Amino acid sequence: MEDYFQKYILKRNFKKTPEPYGTFNEEMGSSSFVVHRHDARSLHYDLRIAHKGRLICWAIPKGFSYNQSEKHLAVHTEDHPIQYISFEGIIPKGEYGAGSMNIWDIGTYKLMKFEDFDAALLKGEVKLKFSGRKLLGEWHLVKLKKNKDEWLIFKAKDAYQDKIWDNLLTLDLSLQPEAGMPDTIVPMRFKSVSNPFSDPEWGFEILHEGLRTICIKNGKAFNFIKDESIIADNGFLAERLSFISEIAPERAVIDGIIISIGENGLSSKKILTQIILDKAPSSNLYFYMLDILNFEGYDITTLPYRDRKYLLSLMSGKIPRLLFVDFLKGNGEVFSQEVKKAGVSAVLAKKLDSPYEQGESDHWKLIDLTNIDISDVSEPKSKTGPKPDAVRVTNPDKFFFPDLSLTKKDLVYYYNDVAELILPYLKDRPVHILRFPDGINGSSFYQKHLPDEQDDNFEFITVQDKEGEPPYFICKNKSGLLHLINLGSIDLHIWFSRKQSLEYPDWIAWDLDPKQASFFDVIKVAKEIGKILRGIGLTSFVKTSGKSGLHILVPIQPHYTYEQTRMFSESIGRIVANENKSIATVERNIELRKGRVYIDFLQNRRGQTLVVPYAVRPLPAASISMPLEWDELDKNLSTNMFTLQNAMERISRKGDIFQNFLNTKQTLEAAIQKLDAFVKSNSSSGQ
Ligand code: MN
């Protein structure tokens, strides 16, 4: 029966590719599907449908769209063995389909209209109903007549037709386990009470007073798991809150609060209790969505809170009495102050990267505002805006970038605007500065120490590099940041590790430095590194250096030593240099680089630094070290297209592309195993 896979087998050399040889087994998998993100010569998505022991495959260059009018080309390709459904890895260069292959979605399907898949294929009309993490509802594949391999794929009309579902395609839910609908759930609660605080890793929300319930939705039906503290009639509530059946996902478990709103515009438990006791015909009943635990039959409690909240945001909008309010990130002090003025008595602080935990959790904190004098909360800080009031700018009109007539004031104002994005990187890390007191054409000097150790905007720590060396410094807040800029430090250089775990870096870096090479080659090399990282299951980030190169970063848990991360960076650098000998090298000696892109892995040593994202570089163009989306690495990208003058426009349009960087804490063990397998498959092919 291996005839089925003859094409598949003939195209591949199984001594070289890690792909499964595959055997035929008709019993295996008949209702599963997988979509691979295949980062080959050109990126595409491979839809693979399990049917009678084989996978029926289409390659879809443009991916999927929930917009029915967007019909995308789908090329029917050779059947793959069923074992391919769980395959992830890197197909070595020179082999068929070389590049990384990752699971992008996985789930089950139902064939519609036709009884038998082969009949549907023959008819050229395959209608599928997906229950995936990303692909949901009915999708149609229709064969184009002219060419027998060319089909179109598009979304069919059903409950999942709204464009909000397109946002789902960007979330990574591929690892969330399937789960049935639960019978009981203990809602997550705060464990401790705190004073107002600010922390970029936390989000802040008003605490509403009402009836906390867990809502379980299944099709149009739903019911509540009740909080026992209020006696409530489930049937009455379900009737009054019937709009819940319109919430977009067919199946969901939502943690929420039923609230009523008083005259002051705030939730009122008193009014709610009265409505419930009277069974009054009131429309003053709202469902406020707090969190989501299950999405379309997948348990998502281990996703970070910020992603669950994002998913909730996709579900809200059209239903008037269904409420969703986003958290405010970071500045809990100002938030507490503002909502207290509006009469709110408590705020909930939630850790943005935390899972959903049943019962009391340290990832939730109550901020009780009743006994807090709002004038004590904190000094008001201007969030953005033209006037940095946190620092006095000395010599504000001095030209720092004379070619562009940009002054020191312009520089300080830029950092004032972008401070919210930069401060999370400065938290707990020693900073080194390169000062240009007279602008980029003046003299400069490097500093690891600050003269004034009394300044409250900084923390001073001993890193024990050399005996007798003065302490290093950590910038604690916006005033400190602007103070450093005012000292003439145009960019900021941060350690890879934090004071709590100084010997264990939080990321691994590859610094691509072109020198004589073209930026086009830098892009090519960066994409190769990106491909391998993706292939071994690591999420990576890329930014321009702001000079002439690119920085690739893999955020990790602070568990590995600098020596270990340096070795990891080196092995990937060597693989890529070896596979791209004409354009890439790990050779330190500039002459021996011969115009090739230098993959610098030595940045991963203790005490080395990274230019903080969004920093301005001391160059005539006032270019920025700008976070990029991987898809932006193409011929349109140039090294100094992002500048002090246009950066804020881009940031307000794109948001913070590195938003998840500091929350992505990856481990390396599985990646190293996959890398080993890749190296072995490569070396066996080298002979
Ligand atoms: Mn493919």
Alpha carbon of 210 to ligand 1 centroid (Å): 51
Alpha carbon of 380 to ligand 1 centroid (Å): 55
Please, is 146 exposed, middle or buried when counting C-beta atoms within 10 Å of its C-beta (0-12, 13-18, 19+)? Answer: exposed
Alpha carbon of 45 to ligand 1 centroid (Å): 7
Alpha carbon of 185 to ligand 1 centroid (Å): 42
| Cβ-contact 657, 628 below 8 angstroms | yes
Alpha carbon of 569 to ligand 1 centroid (Å): 27
Can you name the residues that pair with 255 across neighbouring β-strands? 214, 291
Alpha carbon of 82 to ligand 1 centroid (Å): 15
Alpha carbon of 638 to ligand 1 centroid (Å): 29
Q: How confident is the model at residue 325 (pLDDT cuts 50, 70, 90)?
A: confident
Q: How confident is the model at residue 398 (pLDDT cuts 50, 70, 90)?
A: very high
Cβ neighbours of residue 177 under 8 Å, at least 6 residues apart? 298, 299
Token representation of residue 295: 């999405």
pLDDT in tens, 174-221: 778 888 777 788 899 999 889 999 988 899 999 998 988 899 999 888
pLDDT in tens, 486-527: 999 999 999 999 999 999 999 999 999 888 889 999 999 999
Residue (of 162, 38, 155, 127) closest to 91 by Cα position = 38
Domain ranges of the chain: 2-170, 188-368, 399-500, 503-605+626-677
Q: Which strand (E) or helix (H) includes residue 8? A: helix 6-10
Q: Count the neighbouring beta carbons within 10 Å of the beta carbon of residue 594.
A: 11
Alpha carbon of 225 to ligand 1 centroid (Å): 45
Alpha carbon of 639 to ligand 1 centroid (Å): 31
Alpha carbon of 509 to ligand 1 centroid (Å): 29
Q: Which strand (E) or helix (H) includes residue 648? A: helix 647-654
Alpha carbon of 90 to ligand 1 centroid (Å): 12
Alpha carbon of 69 to ligand 1 centroid (Å): 25
Percent of the chain with pLDDT over 70: 93
Alpha carbon of 360 to ligand 1 centroid (Å): 46
> If you classify domain 503-605+626-677 with CATH, what class do you get?
alpha beta
Q: Is the pLDDT of residue 378 over 50?
A: no
Cβ neighbours of residue 576 under 8 Å, at least 6 residues apart? 525, 528, 529, 532, 584, 599
Q: How confident is the model at residue 276 (pLDDT cuts 50, 70, 90)?
A: confident
Q: Is the pLDDT of residue 389 over 70?
A: no
Alpha carbon of 297 to ligand 1 centroid (Å): 28
**pLDDT at position 684, please?**
58
Q: Is the pLDDT of residue 478 over 70?
A: yes
Compute the distance between CA of residue 422 and CA of residue 409 in angstroms, rounded to an integer: 18
One-letter-per-residue 3-state SS of 408-461: HHHHHHHHHHHHHHHHHHHCCCEEEEEECCCCCCCCCEEECCCCCCCCCCEEEE
Alpha carbon of 270 to ligand 1 centroid (Å): 60
Alpha carbon of 495 to ligand 1 centroid (Å): 40
Alpha carbon of 132 to ligand 1 centroid (Å): 20
**pLDDT at position 527, please?**
95
Compute the distance between CA of residue 536 and CA of residue 103 in angstroms, rounded to an integer: 12
Alpha carbon of 38 to ligand 1 centroid (Å): 5
Alpha carbon of 608 to ligand 1 centroid (Å): 40
Task: Please report the DSSP string for 221-249 in residue order.
Answer: EEEEEEPTTS---HHHHHHHTGGGGGSSS
Q: Is the pLDDT of residue 379 over 70?
A: no
| Cβ-contact 315, 294 below 8 angstroms | no
- CATH number of the domain located at residue range(s) 188-368 in this protein: 3.30.470.30
Alpha carbon of 58 to ligand 1 centroid (Å): 8
Cβ neighbours of residue 235 under 8 Å, at least 6 residues apart? none
Alpha carbon of 52 to ligand 1 centroid (Å): 21
Alpha carbon of 59 to ligand 1 centroid (Å): 6
Compute the distance between CA of residue 86 and CA of residue 100 in angstroms, rounded to an integer: 14
Q: Count the neighbouring beta carbons within 10 Å of the beta carbon of residue 150.
A: 14
Alpha carbon of 36 to ligand 1 centroid (Å): 8
Alpha carbon of 62 to ligand 1 centroid (Å): 12
Alpha carbon of 44 to ligand 1 centroid (Å): 7
Alpha carbon of 491 to ligand 1 centroid (Å): 42
Q: Is the pLDDT of residue 161 over 90?
A: no
Q: Is the pLDDT of residue 575 over 90?
A: yes
Mean pLDDT of the chain: 88
pLDDT in tens, 30-53: 799 999 999 998 899 999 999 988
Mean pLDDT value across residues 58-63 = 95
Q: Is the pLDDT of residue 550 over 90?
A: yes
Q: Is the pLDDT of residue 324 over 80?
A: yes
Alpha carbon of 511 to ligand 1 centroid (Å): 30
Mean pLDDT value across residues 603-614 = 96
**pLDDT at position 331, please?**
87
Alpha carbon of 170 to ligand 1 centroid (Å): 20
Q: Is the pLDDT of residue 381 over 80?
A: no
Alpha carbon of 100 to ligand 1 centroid (Å): 10
Least confident of 201-205, 228-232, 548-552: 228-232
Alpha carbon of 343 to ligand 1 centroid (Å): 57
Percent of the chain with pLDDT over 90: 57
Identity of the amino acid at 435: R
SS3 119: helix
Q: Is the pLDDT of residue 11 over 50?
A: yes
Token representation of residue 552: 């690739």
pLDDT in tens, 125-160: 999 999 998 999 999 999 997 668 999 999 999 888
pLDDT in tens, 421-437: 999 999 999 999 999 99
**Whose structure tokens read 């996959």?**
674
Which segment, 166-170, 615-619, 634-638, 651-655, is predicted with the most confidence on average?
Answer: 615-619
What pTM value is reported for the model?
0.64
User: CA angle at residue 231 from 225 to 235, to 5 degrees?
Assistant: 60
**Whose structure tokens read 């500065």?**
433
Alpha carbon of 658 to ligand 1 centroid (Å): 28
Alpha carbon of 20 to ligand 1 centroid (Å): 14
Q: How confident is the model at residue 330 (pLDDT cuts 50, 70, 90)?
A: confident
What DSSP designation does 683 have?
H
What DSSP designation does 82 have?
G
Compute the distance between CA of residue 243 and CA of residue 460 in angstroms, rounded to an integer: 56
pLDDT in tens, 407-417: 999 999 999 99
Q: How confident is the model at residue 646 (pLDDT cuts 50, 70, 90)?
A: very high
| Cβ-contact 244, 210 below 8 angstroms | no
Alpha carbon of 6 to ligand 1 centroid (Å): 17
Q: Which has more confidence, 409 or 683?
A: 409
Alpha carbon of 584 to ligand 1 centroid (Å): 26
**pLDDT at position 205, please?**
94
Please, how many CA atoms are within 13 Å of residue 377, restricted to the half-sphere of its CB? 26
Alpha carbon of 635 to ligand 1 centroid (Å): 23
Alpha carbon of 89 to ligand 1 centroid (Å): 12
